[in-house]
């Protein structure tokens, strides 16, 4: 079945630095979504990417969908303490359910 993998599993970042988390699917996706779950909270939708090579920005967050529509990345610049949480990608192959990756747990060192 479809598998979605995320790396790294943990990301320790110094406040103010940039980092990137990667998402890879075993199958070609029709779309990919990103969610953020704060500690003790529930996942909150961030963005959906649909087109091959698509790039979307939300303030300090940049999301990219690979040309082959099998991978995606989330890049955060100038990390802040409010960025703490777990970032999940979730991929959907055509006609299939959404499959979540394992998540990247982000810790920010002040």
Partner 1 sequence: GAVVSQHPSRVICKSGTSVKIECRSLDFQATTMFWYRQFPKQSLMLMATSNEGSKATYEQGVEKDKFLINHASLTLSTLTVTSAHPEDSSFYICSAQTGADEKLFFGSGTQLSVL
* Cα-based distances in Å from 80 to 6, 10, 15, 17, 61: 21, 16, 6, 9, 11
Cβ proximity to partner 1: between 19 and 35 the closer is: 35
Query: Which of 88, 91, 106, 108 lies at the binding interface for partner 1 (CB under 8 A)?
Result: 88
Selected range binding partner 1 among 17-25, 54-62, 72-80, 84-92, rule: CB under 8 A: 84-92
Confirm or reject binding of residue 103 to partner 1 (CB under 8 A): yes
Spatial distance between the Cα atoms of 9 and 18, rounded to a whole number of angstroms = 16
CA dihedral 3, 82, 78, 100 (to 10 degrees): 10
Confirm or reject binding of residue 59 to partner 1 (CB under 8 A): no
Cβ proximity to partner 1: between 59 and 94 the closer is: 94
CA 43 to chain centre: 12
| Residue ranges in contact with partner 1 by CB under 8 A | 30-31, 33, 35, 41-45, 48, 88, 90, 92, 97-103, 105
């Amino acid at each position: 079945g479809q598998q979605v993998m995320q790396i790294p599993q943990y990301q320790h970042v110094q406040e103010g630095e940039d980092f990137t988390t990667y998402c890879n699917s075993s199958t070609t996706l029709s779309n990919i979504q990103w969610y953020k779950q704060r500690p003790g909270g529930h996942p909150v939708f961030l963005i959906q990417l649909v087109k091959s090579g698509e790039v979307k920005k939300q303030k300090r967050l940049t999301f990219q969908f690979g040309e082959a529509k099998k991978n995606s990345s989330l890049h955060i610049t100038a990390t802040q303490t409010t960025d703490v949480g777990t970032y999940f990608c979730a991929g959907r192959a055509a006609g299939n359910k959404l499959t979540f990756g394992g998540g990247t747990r982000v810790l920010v060192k002040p």
